[in-house]
Amino acid sequence: MAWNHHRHLELYYAVSGSGAVLHTFNPRLHADQMAYIANHANDQILFFDLSFLTQVQALAQRNQSIKTYVALTDRAHMPEAHSLPNLHCYEDLLDAETDGFQWPDLDETSASSLCYTSGTTGNPKGVLYSHRSTVLHCYAAALPDALLGSAKDTILPVVPMFHVNAWGLPYMACMVGAKLVLPGPWLDGKSLFELIESEGVTLSAGVPTVWQGLLGHAESHRLGFSTMTRTIIGGSACPLEMIRSFDEDYGVQVIQGWGMTETSPLGTTSAFKGKHLHLPKAQHHAVQAKQGRGVFGIEMKIVDREGAELPWNDQSVGDLMVRGSWVLRAYFKDEGGSPLVDGWFPTGDVARIDADGYMQITDRSKDVIKSGGEWIGSIDLENIAMSHPAVATAACIAARHPKWDERPLLIVVKKTGAEVTAQALLDFFEGKIAKWWTPDDVVFVSSIPLGATGKMLKGELRQQYANHLLGEVAANA
């Protein structure tokens, strides 16, 4: 349970390399989820940062399997007051050992690391990775049309190492010999910008909400990047305006990616083909706004509700299915039985794929808006809203409607100091989508709830605003 720093990186290699299983633990989860996960995984030793001492002490009261606790610090910073049994100091443990260690020969199919996903129904489910799947994933991630890592790079993974192994970057960077820069807990725009500049970062990776803070800091202080040339954005759909700003304002290429805990996580990236290189900027950005082509080792298809495969024509929309060498076969302890359908993993995403193989997520299956029997993709509407100069963040949800069953409702956070009316924002959609896709209303809020991995919690928004349009219809009537 730790931020991105050198001790966490040491554990990545020491734990798995010694034959034990590295279970990365998300400290942003709810206490009930933490307790369930630790007991389900049968964790035995917990390494933690002191900033999470309160969570760890609460967890210790509800866990029977953890016998040893190790604070990731030196003797001078060990806590004087705590309630943890059998607490050790990380640096003391290292100082007590010699520099020599006989690494065991391990079966490549043996377990290497364990991550839990909360993107399933019910309790979080574990995904157990093997040494083989981890290495294959690492090879694929370093390919030129994937994350393009090399010994010339200085790589900054802002994506947490406690979440899906930081998209494999701690493995890939070391494999290719890149310099690795780790940000610790300082993830605000100012701290990240100063770290990028001081360490000469060339490649970074994170979720859109993190980059909003970075771009906001750079814009407000009229700053530019001197070394960073590309950034990997994933976790949720990257707004088109963010892609444009990174490119045109700062000269940074956005590589959008898609994946899941169940895919280790890398599945696709939006790397260009040769045919795209000389296209106008707007068409470049349209390609980058897609989640991209499957990296070598991943197969994709989209299917209709009956399971029939749909064509790759950039029009047909269906449920996204994947399979590959680092896609799970079953959840840890066979939780919930086999999730596979004829050998394919159903991702829960709704997508379309164009003739060049570029996949674009249009929604999560649970977030699709069904209006009068027709589907409306919320992500397209969010991207348009966030291209408005007054909008910082936008979420589109399905709200109940007396005639059409559901209609899109836009939830918006305005940029600091910016003003826009609901009608002006609705007018902004004119000509960009089919008219009947236009949201029925806009609700302005101070913030949108985010989950433990930085994704918008649309479920909470639906609970709060599901009847918003019913109230409006009644009032208008």
- Would you call 190 a catalytic residue per the annotation? no
Q: Are 82 and 99 in contact (CB under 8 A)?
A: no
Closest C-alpha to 349, from 361, 334, 358, 360: 361
Bridge partners of 206, per DSSP, are: 233
The one catalytic residue among 375, 421, 432, 436: 375
- Would you call 370 a catalytic residue per the annotation? yes
- Would you call 262 a catalytic residue per the annotation? yes
- Would you call 117 a catalytic residue per the annotation? yes
Half-sphere exposure of 432 (CA within 13 A, CB side): 16
The one catalytic residue among 67, 281, 366, 370: 370
Question: Which amino acid type is present at position 339?
Answer: P
The one catalytic residue among 241, 262, 382, 406: 262
The one catalytic residue among 117, 261, 269, 438: 117
Integer Cα distance of 409 and 395 in angstroms: 8
Question: Which amino acid type is present at position 461?
Answer: L
Integer Cα distance of 331 and 129 in angstroms: 10
Integer Cα distance of 254 and 190 in angstroms: 20
Instruction: Enumerate the active-site residues.
Output: 117, 262, 370, 375
